[in-house]
Amino acid sequence: MVGVDSSKAGHAALEWAAMRAAHFHVPLNLVRVVPGPWAFRHADRYQASMNRAAELLATEAQRVSALYPAVPVSTTLGIGETARALRRLSADSDMVVVGTDRRPDRHGEGFGSVSFETAAISNCVVAVVPAADDGDRTGVVVGTDGSADAAVAVEWAAAEALRLGQDLTVIHVCNGPDEPGEGRGARANGMAMDTCPVLAAAVAALARDHPGLRVKPVLESSRYPAPALVRAGAHALLLVIGCKGRGGLEILVGSVARDVLMDIQCPTLITRPVQEHQMPSPQRDGLSAPSGRPASTQPAPPDPDSPGS
């Protein structure tokens, strides 16, 4: 499922989602959400907004079908708040793809609120995609802090690196006195690996589970992990981050993911938390075919939490 709008990031998100759907031979649902009638002072403006949304969905569906004729394409016109509407629809999806509403100058509508809120409340893995650039990008990057949620992110990143034929860079940021490091941006050699059990364990698990994968461990020393991930993502094809980590907060997206999304540099996957007695995996939860919707446009139910519902 991909959120559709007319922005540059929205176009990039649609193209990213369409390419992925074509690779995995899965259907793609294009979603556009319009505020309900309560958000408009005049009924005719609401209807005009609905008409424009329907036209956008039809145009973009035709474009995807022309580029990827083998991909079954459906459209959904939702009403309400965008992130909440996507959350409801995500219950039947394996991944939600949205464009960021942050610009490279760190400004934007809602200061990144829609894409961040979508990542925070979605029922499935979320991909946030910035506007396309002409930079030379290579590699997949993932951060780990040794938590179970980080292990999910590492597994997703490994699957994506293998799919894309790219190296995988695994970053651990030492942020405690009992976690010695080699300074900012240091490549982890044998000595550093010996002194960093978190990074060593992640690399060992990757070598065991994905023997053909090229892994580049990186150890950084900083109190704040987000800047290290942002720097690494500046030239990467893909960044993968976990949703909570060792903070243990009762929210899906922690401060590191929030800060990365506020300064997003490349397409970024945000995985879901580990459920009790179940370890999510890309093969089961993101790389298998999702259940598709009918080919015709399907109206989404109104947002029950919105005014006027």
pLDDT in tens, 232-267: 999 999 999 987 644 443 445 567 888 888 889 999
Please check whether residues 170 and 116 belong to one and the same domain.
no
Tell me how many degrees the CA angle 281-264-95 measures, rounded to the nearest 5: 30
The range of the structural domain enclosing residue 79 comes to 2-124+289-299
Q: Is residue 31 part of a domain?
A: yes
Both tokens assigned to 78: 């939702």
Domain count across the chain: 2
Q: Is 58 found in the same domain as 23? A: yes
Instruction: Give the pLDDT confidence score for residue 273 in this predicted structure.
Output: 81
Q: Is there a domain that residue 80 lies in?
A: yes
Residue 87 within any structural domain of the chain: yes
- Asked if the structure places residue 115 within a domain, the reply is yes
In a domain, 273, yes or no: no
Give CA–CA dist 124/273, Å, rounded. Answer: 10
Q: Report residue 32 as tokens.
A: 């556009």
Tell me the pLDDT tens digit for each residue of 90-122: 998 999 999 987 654 554 444 457 888 898 889
**Residue 283, CA atoms < 13 Å, CB-side half-sphere:** 5
Q: 3-state DSSP call for residue 99?
A: strand
For residue 18, the domain's CATH number is 3.40.50.620
Residue 164 CA to residue 166 CA, distance in Å, equals 5
- Nearest alpha carbon to residue 2 among 279, 253, 290: 290
Helix (H, G, I), strand (E, B) or coil at 38: helix
My answer on whether 6 and 74 are in the same domain is yes
Q: Say yes or no: 173 and 77 in one domain.
A: no
Whether 75 is in a domain gets the answer yes
Query: 253: closest CA among 272, 268, 280, 274?
Result: 272
